[in-house]
Amino acid sequence: MSIPTKIVPVILCGGSGTRLWPLSRAGFPKQFLVLSGTQSLFQQAFLRLQSLASKEIEIDKNLIVTNEEQRFLALDQLLELKAQMSIKAPIRFLLEPQGKNTAPALTLAALDALEVNQDPILVITPADQTIQDQDGFTKALHKAIDVAKDGAIAILGIEPTKPEIGYGYIQVDNQLNRGAHSVIRFTEKPNLETAKQYLDQGGFYWNSGMFVLKASLWLKALNLFRDDIADMTEKAWKNHQVDTLSQVEFVRPNKELFSQIPAESIDYAVIEKCPQSDIPIQMVPLNAGWNDLGAWDAVWQVAEQSAEGNAAIGDVLSANTTNTLVIANHRLVSTVGVNDLIVIETADAVLVANKEQSQDVKAIVSQLEASKREEKNLHRKVHRPWGWYDSVDEGERFKVKRIQVKPGASLSLQMHHHRAEHWIVVKGTAEITNGDQVITLNENQSTYIPQGQKHRLTNPGTTPLEIIEVQSGSYLGEDDIVRFEDTFGRK
């Protein structure tokens, strides 16, 4: 009986997805959005990789590379999957102290994979793509794993359907050997005329950003092409720390040493330098309805459409409307006599854009950033490791929040310099630390937290706790929090 090939799925789960604003925000980026069905893009990516397991292929462990801010979003969505199905392989989060692009992220994964003196095959994918044909995806990845077993880097390429200027291209030879082409060269995102030439000439594929290779081969290639990144990442990794929450491990490289790593992408650091080098690289065609959802027009393309070409999510009514995407999150949105539009409604922002110019949403995000507006970073409803809060109203010297706390979860022991708080329980049971007192409140009961008083909110029950919080004071910013104790390790 043959020994199964061990693989390690690596999901690159960073990034802010600014071109899908206002649904995607820095604090809730696009990989965590549910744009179709019931699962987020991140959940879909995780499940796709689980499907690779077979009699010949064993998933050794799952690695999620992300950051401190996004780890609880990712953890919550993975725990949701684990509650619905059996996930046997361990899950480890590799937490980047700061964004350094994808080359250091993959290096962390390779170092982690090699820790137990094995050399598994890494299957690397971004967290924010969509695939319509699962069987086609699985077959292509199995071919890529075979390529990697033979000692080469396998990259997944997409046959272009139009002269796309938003993707990098891979040029390959015409010989298909065991399901793969040899890579001739990589090219940058072209202008429209060059993209048309690629399409007419043939032999050019879109770069999907998915790679399959042995962990040792990545480190060998990185040391060959960018030994500075390899050296500094290994130093940061040697000083890593591990903690566990909900049977999931969180791995933190040394923060100070990690900050010294040069920022670079996988492509620039290694992949584009492999052709005509000593590092073999091949491309496996992927024909599975791939889309990286890089802008709202791409979301429209993959969405279910009416006979008029309209795609609608939420409470939407349309008349004399064609080829339009409307997403309504909090209220009825209606369109009359329009075409080729993108309309995205959230609780605190509305986007209306020409579909052909949806790539330019990033210009609005730049304006938000320049004016330091919070709509760039957070939704009105903000997710936290203990639950969420929704800022439903505010004015001069007051703010009203609806707060939900997960069963068994607790906010930090904290105090505020500039505000007092009134808490009213509307659902569930609350255990409240208020100064030296610890009290229990049920529905329709309330308490007052004076300015400067240490306090904590805990849900001791088995169902979600909901309260209404009314803040009053001279300053109501989220940074007016002094934490004394925190279950989640926040400062």
Looking at the DSSP bridge assignments, the partners of residue 154 are 212, 282
Place of tokens 């094995």: 118
Q: Please provide the average confidence, as pLDDT, over all residues in the chain.
A: 93
CB 263 within 8 A of CB 114: no
Per-residue buried b or exposed e for 175-214, using 16+ beta carbons within 10 Å of the residue's own CB: eeeebbbbbeebbeebeeebbeebbeeeebbbbbbbbbbb
Helix (H) or strand (E) holding 198: helix 192-201
Cα separation of 339 and 332, whole Å? 19
Instruction: Give the mean model confidence (pLDDT) for residues 468-487.
Output: 92
Write down the pLDDT at residue 398: 96
Nearest alpha-carbon partner for 406 in 244, 246, 248 = 246
At 434, the amino acid letter reads N
pLDDT digits (tens, 9 = 90+) for 59-84: 999 999 999 888 889 999 999 998 88
Domain ranges of the chain: 5-285, 296-367, 381-485
Separation between Cα atoms, residue 269 and residue 369, nearest integer Å:
29
pLDDT of 239 reads 84
Q: What is the pLDDT of residues 181-207, one digit of tens each?
A: 999 999 989 999 999 999 999 999 999
Q: What does 220-280 look like in DSSP terms, one character per residue? A: HHHHHH-HHHHHHHHHHHHT-EEEEETTEEEEE--HHHHTTSPP--HHHHTGGG-TTSSS-
What pLDDT was estimated at residue 491?
62
Contacts of 319 (CB under 8 A, 6+ apart): 334, 335, 336, 337
DSSP-derived secondary structure letter, 191: P
Helix (H, G, I), strand (E, B) or coil at 60: coil
What digits encode the pLDDT tens for the residues 346-370?
999 999 999 999 989 999 999 999 9
Q: How confident is the model at residue 116 (pLDDT cuts 50, 70, 90)?
A: confident
Instruction: Give residue-wise pLDDT tens across range 127-149.
Output: 999 999 999 999 999 999 999 99
Closest CA to 279 of 335, 226, 206, 344: 226
Q: How many CB atoms lie within 10 A of CB 463?
A: 11
Q: Are 408 and 465 in contact (CB under 8 A)?
A: no
pLDDT (tens digit per residue) in 399-436: 999 999 999 999 999 999 999 999 999 999 999 999 99
Q: 381-485, which class in CATH? A: mainly beta
Q: What is the pLDDT of residue 166?
A: 85
Read off the pTM. Answer: 0.89
Helix count (H) and strand count (E) of the chain? Answer: 11, 29
The architecture (CATH level 2) of 5-285 comes to Alpha-Beta Complex (3.90)
Confidence of residue 117 (pLDDT cuts 50, 70, 90): low
pLDDT at 175 over 80: yes
* Chain centroid, CA 177 distance in Å: 34
State percent of the chain over pLDDT 90: 82
List, for residues 15-72, the tens digit of each pLDDT value. 777 889 999 998 899 999 998 778 999 999 999 999 999 999 999 999 999 998 888 8
